Amino acid sequence: MPKATREMLENGFSYDEPDRMPNNIRIKDLDIFMYGVAIVGHFVDLGLDINVAVQYFITKNIVEFGWTLVFILLPAFVNTAVSVRMYSQDKQQHSLSNEFTKRKWLRIFILVLQMAPILRFADALIYAIKSRRAARKQDVSSQRMYYGLMLKEDSDAALLRIFECFLEAAPQQVLQTSLLLRQYEHLAVHQLLSICSSIVGMGWCLAAYQRAVRFAQQDKNNVTWIGTILQVLWHFLVTLSRITSISIVVYMFPLWAVLACGIHILVMTTWLQFFDHSSFCSHNKLAQFCFSLALGGVYLFTFILPVEGRTRYRYTVYYTLCFLQNFVCSILWYVYVNDDMRLTVFFYPVFVLSIVPFVFGIIFMLVYYGFFHPKVSVRSSSISMKEDEDS
């Protein structure tokens, strides 16, 4: 048993158990289909965002065009940097992955186009197909090898999707929602399409990330589908509430909203640097800070664990802070919004969406951790450890 695990048990802690590769590693038609949907969905979401930017440019809303473009290009740059670091680690570890990108020129071309998640999804799809072919040939060794490579690429793609969702899609929704509240009637359809395409995938992408990371670790139990659904609901509702709250402050007090968001990101970045910094970019202090800053941007909307550890206190601090922020935003909306907005259909729904989804999201989180999160009790684990030592 690893020393760290032994120390946790001796100190009386319970610990979470991430997933293992299941005994049944058969690739289903649904798995192939979902990778195809992920690739197509990326292009659809990107296309709708570009469409909104083009519409702003055509109608000579240059400021709106500029901000929309920033929220497309900046997250793509972050994703490209993270992806390059992943490829560097793969090379150092002599990884067999990167099937689709064995041709170096093709990898560079796609990274320049800033479509990093597509590379990983394409590789995962190729390995899924190869694992399926090996199964048909009853080549169990190759089947498991390609399945493991598929899981590795899937977990990398899921991390890239996290950055894409919460550094591109979520800020894009805040921007488009605040502009929609300003009643750009001639652009409402384009704004709504962009908002809907982004928000549908955000809750799922974070749950998919957690599930992918768990599947990639071979010595632990898997999250059930009920657990995954609860994660989707939890993150979707919390993110919806955060986006609504930030959007209404951006609508009323844009400069103060930018300042408040900047302070939140810096606080989260400091937290990550001093208490939860990941080893992902530990080779370089500047790269480590930039990675923490990128995660700090993600923490504006949701919380993910960059390192193993107990989640209870982290979640308590983070979600309490976010709830207080949402509550303040809703009060500001109710007190300071102009009279014209009070007469529109947006007034009460926006007020409700800034608080109620957050509360339900936390309820789903508590239900998940209370009943569906894989974990091992201290007593049973200690008994198991003692039996291992006696044997």
pLDDT digit string (tens) for 79-132? 777 777 776 766 655 555 554 445 555 555 555 555 667 777 888 888 888 888
Digit-coded pLDDT (tens) for 349-359: 889 999 999 99
State which of 166-170, 173-177, 247-251, 378-382 shows the largest mean pLDDT.
247-251
Q: How far is the C-alpha of 262 from the C-alpha of 267, rounded, in Å?
A: 9
- Is the pLDDT at 10 greater than 50? The verdict is no
* Side-chain-facing half-sphere of 85: CA atoms under 13 Å: 19
